[in-house]
Structure 1
Amino acid sequence: MNRTTDLNQLLIFVRVIQAGSLSEAARRLNLPKSTVSRKISDLEERVGERLIQRTTRKLGLTEAGRLLFERVSPAMSDIEEAESAVAGMRGAPRGVLRVAAPMSSSTLGPIVAEYLIRHPDVAVEMVCSDRRVDLVEERFDVAIRAGELVDSTLVARNLGKAKFMLVAAPEYCKRHGVPKTPAELTSHACVAFGGGVAPHVWPLESGGKRVEVRITPRLTVNDMEIVREAALAGVGIAWLPQLFCADDLRHKRLLPLLVDWCSAEIPVHALYPTRRHLSPKVVSFVDLLSERIQLHDH
């Protein structure tokens, strides 16, 4: 195999797969179809493998072709992004933005929708997981994380501080009353976020005092949206992030309880790899996050 890399061959190969045909790729690249076909043949000869199965109707990737496309396509996007930056075209976000976010990130939905409407040349791939992803290894552009930072190799943008608070539906409060002290939570129906058999403890703080209340939940679930829905339905008292239930509180669908008691404040950051922090799609997305999340006391 000839180890000399020909970027033109690789670019044409990627464009052919993206276009779905040699003729469409030739049209997009403004090249003769014969040139495109020859470049693909030269590439196959150079790597010593057939990459594309040609039929009269469509193109299909061989196993080797799929492997090459998956490796080369992101690199070509990076090259194009770098060229755009050098050419002073960074003002227009474009390309695919990969975002890692925590589970139960429904509050980000309207922000992502607004971002996509603002920037029609960007597509967003958002993965919600409580696993701590490796941004560089897994090719994420941005990660949104709550808690103290542990990876000093990443660039961090502080989005503010979040906290948990006690809430319940008006119907629940009418039927069961409201707790006057943290200790009274033990005699109330509660809805808890979590899983497994570990005891449920809600850590409450007020004016420098901290108490840990051990509750016996009526519902335990590892999806914050289901916790919220159960609270809205009047199942019991829930311990929810302030941002997550802010709209419900504004419209009095949920009522705040024991308002002097809440969780310790949890820092929230947008993180992105240092080597890509100047990408316009990243900067514009993080700017919008910072604008819209507004983590502060209500």
Structure 2
Amino acid sequence: MENLSGMEVFVHVAQTRSFIATGRAKGISSSAVSKSISRLEERLGVRLFQRSTRSVRLTQEGEVFLERCRRIFTEIQAAEDELSSMTDLPRGRLRVGLPLAGGLMLPMLSDFIQRFPDIELDLDFSDRLSDVIEDGMDVVIRGGELDDSRLISRRLGSFRLCLAGSNDYFQQQAAPARPDELSSHACLHYRYPSSGKLEPWPLKHSPSLSGGHVLPSTLICSSLEALLFMVKEGRGIACLPDYSIRKEIASGELQTVLDSYMTRTMTFHILWPSTRQMTPKVRVFVDFMTEVFAGYMAKKH
């Protein structure tokens, strides 16, 4: 068991490239993570990571060992799933991948825990999709277009991107009536952590293509929560999913602008690997989320 624990720590460090992040996830100190890796390297007689003050990188031996560890943990999970299937009871650990802007799902997940107390949720917030199979996720929820033949998907619900600002902000700066008027406003942008790219504002007539107008970059951040905070503080206009600001719109704290120019609607899907048997815990999770998702998307409070 100690060997498996050390291997589990190793896999997490390999994925996060950080002793600190691994320690936080495991509830131990970064020095304990370092000692665990050192003991593993000593036992194996090889160096698994190249360490520096700025980065942690896998060695060639580490890459080989990581692949083996992933296979081992996949087999362990498969054994647990097989036994769970034999009892036909939804139980065991369920690894769920959620989008970084996954706060919408938290009330649903809380209700799921209450309904299925024998299922242990392991939540991973990330916008990556390519590592669903490799990272051993049981099920993931993602927004946007999806194209991966290894995954089975089911539609959950749709949402719209909108431009919003606070009433305080629009009292100081008149609300834009046309997209090109955004060039005189404070524009707050979201950056995708996985790619480093800015989320485009889906306007019919893009200011960056019309009349030489370019959207100002008053603020750029990779956290939807931080972006929403700044909007509510009156710092400018941001492009946000409608579900994330329903309560603020209903209360009058925020208002949307240029609605008739916004063109993008996105859909949430729930996905799971087609190469694995659908275990009871995955089946009840997929059925539960499909059942309740639309209702939660429509709630204003």
Do both share a fold (TM > 0.5)?
Answer: yes
Q: For residues 249 and 230 of structure 2, what CA distance do their matches in structure 1 show?
A: 15
Q: 1:201 to 1:78 in 2, by over 3 A?
A: closer
- The offset of 1:191, in angstroms, is 1.1
Match of 1:181 among 164, 173, 178: 178
Residue in 2 aligned with 1:202?
201
Q: What secondary structure sits across from 1:260 in the alignment?
A: helix
Compute the RMSD of aligned alpha carbons.
3.4
Asked if the contact 1:100/1:133 (under 8 Å) is kept, the reply is: no
The CA deviation at 1:264 is 1.6
> For residues 95 and 186 of structure 1, do their structure 2 counterparts lie closer, same or farther at Cα, with a shift above 3 Å needed?
same
Is 1:260 matched up with 2:260?
yes
Counterpart check, 1:162 vs 2:195: no
| Partner residue in 2 for 1:211 | 205
Distance in 2 separating the partners of 1:124 and 1:199 = 31
Question: Which letter maps to 1:202?
Answer: W
Q: CA deviation at 1:232?
A: 0.8
Instruction: For 1:143 and 1:122, locate their aligned partners in 2 and report how far apart those are by CA, in whole Å.
Output: 16
Counting matched residue pairs gives 235
How far has the Cα of 1:198 moved from its partner?
7.4
Map Cα deviations across residues 59-80 of structure 1 (whole Å, 9 max, x no partner).
x99957xx99986565344334
CA 1:73–1:239: 2 relative to 1, 3 Å: closer
Segments of 5+ residues of structure 2 without an aligned counterpart are: 6-38, 45-65, 208-213
For 1:79, the equivalent position in structure 2 comes to 79
* TM-superposed deviation, 1:284: 2.0
Q: Which runs of 4+ in 1 moved over 4 A?
A: 60-64, 67-74, 195-201, 295-298
Q: Following the alignment from structure 1 to structure 2, what is the Cα–Cα distance between the partners of residues 188 and 81?
A: 54
Contact 2:150–2:275 (CA under 8 A) maintained in structure 1: no
What is the percent sequence identity of the aligned residues? Answer: 29
Distance 2:197 2:117 in 1: 46
Question: 1:70/1:240 Cα in 2 relative to 1: closer, same or farther (>3 Å)?
Answer: closer
Q: Which SS does the other structure have where 2:128 is aligned?
A: coil
Structure 1, unmatched stretches of 5+, are 1-12, 19-59, 205-209
Please give the TM-score of this superposition, normalised by the length of structure 1.
0.67
Q: CA deviation at 1:121?
A: 1.0
Superposition TM-score, scaled by structure 2 size: 0.67
1:100 and 1:129 in contact (8 A); partners too = yes
- Does 2:104 align with 1:107? yes
The residue that corresponds to 1:143 in the other structure is 140
Larger Rg belongs to:
1
How is 1:210-289 mapped onto 2 (pairs within 5 angstroms)?
A: 210-213=204-207, 214-276=214-276, 278-289=278-289
Contact 1:200–1:216 (Cα < 8 Å) also in 2: no
Letter in 1 for 2:281: K
Superimposed CA distance per residue, residues 8-49 of structure 1 (whole angstroms, 9 cap, x where no aligned partner): xxxxx79xx89xxxxxxxxxxxxxxxxxxxxxxxxxxxxxxx
**Per-residue Cα deviation, 1:122-144 (whole angstroms, up to 9, x for no partner):** 11111112222422221100111
Q: Give the counterpart letter for 1:136 in structure 2.
A: I
Q: CA deviation at 1:269?
A: 1.0
Counterpart CA distance in 1 for 2:196 and 2:145 is: 26
- Asked whether the equivalents of residues 98 and 141 of structure 2 are also in contact (C-alpha less than 8 Å), the reply is yes
How far residue 166 of structure 1 moved from its aligned partner, in angstroms, is: 0.9
SS of residue in 1 equivalent to 2:202: strand
User: Structure 2 counterpart of 1:279, which letter?
Assistant: T
Q: Are 1:290 and 2:287 counterparts?
A: no
